[in-house]
Structure 1
Amino acid sequence: MEGLGVFDLSGRVACVTGAASGIGEAAAETLAAAGAAVVLGDIDGDGADRTRDRIVDGGGRAVSRVTDTTQSDQVSALLAAATDEFGRLDVMANVAGVGSYGDVVDVTEAELDRVLAINFKGVFFGCQAAMRVMGPQGSGSIINVSATAINTPVGGLSVYAATKAAVAMLTQSLAVEAGPIGVRVNTIAPGFTLTNFVGGHLRDAEGQVDPAEMDSYLKLMRDRSPLGEVCDASDQANLIWFLASDASRYVTGQILRANAGQSITW
């Protein structure tokens, strides 16, 4: 396969968690535009349905399921929807995740458990369920989502960064296990990306953000980039597309970064 054809996903089936918004939403729409049938999971069922409807209205193939990724049976059911609806599974994108802010001394056990469950266990369950389908097929690409926070320690992000570091190591360990049976496993490590995650630490008790504070924060993020830019969800979705496609057929166990260079200057 030559030229742009290596990016063609026609005939393939992709599952995306966190598909109701942000990077997951962008990834689902990008993979569908490349020709894949997509299965969308999110705890926000209405949001996942909206993503599905846009894909279908645009001529793509998509189904959506309410999925709490902290529950292994629900993740398994989501992948069963892929094989039931479309007959196979070629791509598993474990995108669902949450932010967490607070100094170590202030983090409650409940918050620790919440973030570990979503950011690490949810990815683990997605990998596990995907391997049970892809292993017998002898092919597939698993794509996880880590973060630039694994490279650049920042106070107040300890729990978030720790879970994303765990995702990176899970990815590399699984790549060693999965390679001999034809399955590739990689992770993207987004830098600051304009999604609904943005400014979580700036929100007050009612979830509101002062516009001036947000503008100052965005300027700080741009100033920390050699490009003077911040990423949006499509930048991360394009990396997921690359890892889903034959353009990356010899890429496994890697951490790919779209972060406008933040991790080299922070």
Structure 2
Amino acid sequence: MRFRGKVAIVTGAGSGIGRLAAQRFAAEGAQVVAADIDEARAKETAAMIVGEGGRAAPSRTDVTKSADVKAMIDLGIERFGQVDILYNHAGITRQASVCDLSEEDWDLVLATNLKSVFLGCKHVLPHMVARGQGVIVNTGGTFGFYARPEYPAYCAAKAGVHNLTKQIALDYSRHGIRINAVCPGFIDTPINASIPPEAIARIVATQPLGRPGKAEEVVAAALFLASDEASFITGTTLLVDGGQLSGRHGC
């Protein structure tokens, strides 16, 4: 088991990729804090892990709020004694052009997708520095590398995640801490279930492998980056995009 004796915190753990990541960390030996803004879903994920023989604690966390994020980190330390891994996965999107996007939605997308990474790192890094070790994995996105119509806030946020990941790696590698990002392409998850089939077909056509990705494939990449198998990898973004950024992508 790659994470025996480790403690992992996963944000956005109430559903989809985040829930599966929390379960997989636990299945591979980690004690898990399952954090989500939806308390019921966080509790459900934690209960699923416990039911499978693992150890987990739910955390009702609004990742845009500093006090909530600090409490989430403190919960991991108080309940399990330490925090070894933070997977900043929580995220949302809003679709509209710059002129049509409200300031409130701009602020919410930037706060949920980018500020949350800053806050998670801000509150977990002092603990990791004191221990001389730790791993952070952030969720980026292909829209952070190329722009797509009507997603200004999401594109800006994910581009910020990629570069923030590199910057933090520069500052904290000397403390024995690694930080990387996993970058999904179009993935078959509940958050994408409302997209019309014809739109999905157009998106999938931009991915040379010719299909949506699976949540399991993103989680496998995230767990690899969190594991000792990636011990010489920091400050990078691992693409899990079906080849989308190889040069065949489109809008």
| Partner in structure 2 of residue 232 of structure 1 | 214
Most deviating of 214-223 and 249-258: 214-223
Alignment partners' CA distance in 1, 2:243 and 2:31: 33
Corresponding position: 1:196 with 2:190: yes
Structure 1 gaps of 5+ residues are 1-6, 203-213
- CA-CA distance at 1:218 after TM superposition: 2.4
Whether 1:130 and 2:124 are equivalent positions in the alignment is yes
Say how many residue pairs are matched. Answer: 248
Residue type at the aligned position of 1:131: L
Give the structure, 1 or 2, with the largest relative contact order (CA under 8 Å, sep 6 or more).
Answer: 1
Find the aligned partners of 2:215 and 2:84 in 1 and give their Cα distance.
22
Q: Is 1:263 matched with 2:245?
A: yes
Measure how far apart 1:134 and its partner are: 0.4
CA-to-partner distance for each residue in 1:216-265, whole Å, 9 max, x for gaps?
A: 12222322221111112111111111011100001000000111111221
| Structure-1 separation of matches of 2:86 and 2:70 | 12
Structure 1 SS opposite 2:17:
helix
Deviation per residue, 1:74-107 (Å, 9 max, x gap): 1111111111111111100000110121111111
Distance in 1, matches of 2:135 and 2:88, equals 11
| Other-structure match for 1:245 | 227
Q: Do structure 1's residue 148 and structure 2's residue 130 form an aligned pair?
A: no
Query: C-alpha deviations, 1:192-226, integer Å up to 9, x for none?
Result: 111232166x5xxxxxxxxxxx2212222322221
Normalising by structure 2, we get a TM-score of: 0.96
Alignment partner, residue 37 of structure 1: 31
The residue aligned with 2:167 is 173
One-letter amino acid of the structure 2 residue matched with residue 218 of structure 1: I
Amino acid of the structure 1 residue aligned with 2:69: V
Asked whether the 8 Å contact 1:130–1:142 carries over to 2, the reply is no
Is 1:108 aligned to residue 102 of structure 2? yes
Task: Find the aligned partners of 1:118 and 1:221 in 2 and give their Cα distance.
Answer: 24
AA in 1 matched with 2:53: G
Partners of 2:83 and 2:188 in 1: CA distance: 29
Quote the offset at 1:52 in angstroms.
0.8
Give secondary structure in 2 for the equivalent of 1:142.
Answer: strand
Distance 1:48 1:195 in 2: 17
1: CA distance, partners of 2:55 / 2:45:
11
| 165-174 or 227-236, which deviates more | 227-236
Identity %: 36
Alpha-carbon distance in structure 1 between the residues aligned to 2:125 and 2:172: 8
- Kindly provide the CA deviation profile for residues 166-185 of structure 1, in whole angstroms up to 9, marking residues without a partner as x: 11111100000110000001
Q: Secondary structure at the match of 2:178?
A: strand
- Alignment correspondent of 2:7: 13
Greater than 6 Å deviation, 4+ residue runs? none
Gaps of 5+ in 2: none
Match of 2:21 in 1: 27
Q: In the alignment, is the contact (CA less than 8 A) between 2:186 and 2:204 conserved in 1?
A: no
Cα distance in 2 for partners of 1:115, 1:194 equals 21
Distance, in Å, in 2 between the alignment partners of 1:119 and 1:24 is 14
Q: What SS is found at the alignment partner of 2:184?
A: coil
State how far apart, in whole Å, the 1-side matches of 2:214 and 2:32 are: 21
Matches within 5 A, 1:60-79: 60-79=54-73
Instruction: State the partner residue of 1:50.
Output: 44
Q: Distance in 1 between matches of 2:217 and 2:241?
A: 9
Structure 1 length-normalised TM: 0.90
Distance in structure 2 (CA, Å) of the matches to 1:178 and 1:27 = 25
The answer on 1:117 being equivalent to 2:114 is: no
Retained in 1: the 8 A contact 2:21–2:219? yes
